[in-house]
Structure 1
Amino acid sequence: MASASSSTSIPPPQSPTSSYSHDVFLCFRGPDTGYGFTSHLYAALNRKGITTYKDDKNLRKGDVISHELVKAIEESMFAVIVFSPDFASSSWCLDEVCNIIDCKNKQGLQMVEVFYYVEPCDVRHQIGTFQKAFEKHEREGRHESEKVKRWREALKQVAEHSGWTSKNHPWRG
């Protein structure tokens, strides 16, 4: 991978006295990257001795983010968010991003973004597949407008950070 920013170092967490159950929490949309890129990333992190939380359970559409996942986010030092073309179609993924932002603001959770076959501006401005996903969320009316607004703001906030992108890299398939 190559960095989209000039700096590749990751700062230490703000509260080094905290105890963490996981070094890294992986946030991803399973059908997009769960059995490819994210599985390879998970294996590579584990080979390096990095304790990584990856939720592999089949989640039903519309389920509320589980207490287990919220706890895993809270007990992680880093969150790696793998944005993929259909990421925003998952209310589960969007809820995870909101929880990651909350933990970043409250306890210094560090975030690393990976833009896998999407551009950071797609996420930040919610265009392309992200626009279509939000239009569907709003059209179906299954989620309160305030929740959808919170999702939109969380994606904007996360995508303002520099991250890793698959564009023009040899590992892009």
Structure 2
Amino acid sequence: MAFLTNEGAYSSSSTHQGNYDVFLSFRGEDTRYNFTCHLYKVLCDNGLNTFIDYNLPRGEEISMELLKAIELSKISIVVFSENFAFSTWCLNELVKIFECRRNGQFVLPIFYKVSPLEIRKQEGKFGIALAKHEETFENDIRKVQTWRKTLTEAANLSGFLYTDRYVFN
């Protein structure tokens, strides 16, 4: 299966080697039982070995297994939703995804009922979440600055905008 990117075609035989074709990153409470589970099924039905958090091996430390799964993936699909930035885990996962992007991993954002502009400018719920994190992590403000920078970088990527009625390219 091939994907079209700004740089041309990306196929599963890319030079970036991994155990998974796709890693799905999402805020569970927002999209797990609707959009993301349908996306997961479509990816799997089309022969893509897709990692989703309920595939975690039982008895393993969750954070280490998720980070390893990101590293072992060829593509990361990030589903941004209204409460995404309230989760420090989602933000840390996003930072890891963008570290892997610098090493050749393809990253595809999906803006699920949120605007890339809201994420880029960190307004609305994204702004509220980040302000809250600044209070919580006042002794580690670099962490929040990294999250802000990575969110902006992600919102600057070409992706898909999902509304209640349509998916826009």
- Offset, 1:19: 3.0
Residue among 126, 136, 143 paired with 1:140 = 136
- Offset, 1:144: 1.5
Q: Which amino acid aligns with 2:115?
A: E
Please give the root-mean-square deviation of Cα atoms over the aligned residues, in Å.
2.4
Q: Please tell me whether the aligned partners of residues 65 and 96 of structure 1 are also in contact (alpha carbons under 8 angstroms).
A: no
Residue among 136, 145, 148 paired with 1:149 = 145
Residue among 17, 27, 30 paired with 2:28 = 30
Segments of 5+ residues of structure 2 without an aligned counterpart are 56-60
1:121 maps to which residue?
A: 117
- Offset, 1:12: 2.2
2:37 maps to which residue?
A: 39
Partners of 2:142 and 2:62 in 1: how far apart?
17
Partners of 2:51 and 2:138 in 1: how far apart?
29
2:87 maps to which residue?
A: 90
- 1:115 is paired with a residue of what secondary structure? strand
- 1:66 is paired with a residue of what secondary structure? helix
Structure possessing the higher relative contact order (Cα contacts under 8 Å, 6 or more residues apart): 1
Partners of 1:168 and 1:141 in 2: how far apart?
35
- Offset, 1:42: 0.2
Structure 1 segment 1-173 matched on structure 2, within 5 A: 9-10=4-5, 11-12=9-10, 16-56=14-54, 66-105=63-102, 107-141=103-137, 144-167=140-163, 169-170=165-166
TM-score of the pair, normalised by structure 1: 0.83
Q: Residues 171, 111 of structure 1: CA spacing in aligned structure 2 closer, same or farther, 3 A cutoff?
A: closer
- Count of aligned residue pairs for this structure pair: 157
Identity in percent: 40
Partners of 1:170 and 1:162 in 2: how far apart?
17
Segments of 5+ residues of structure 1 without an aligned counterpart are 1-7, 58-63
Q: Which has the higher strand share?
A: 2
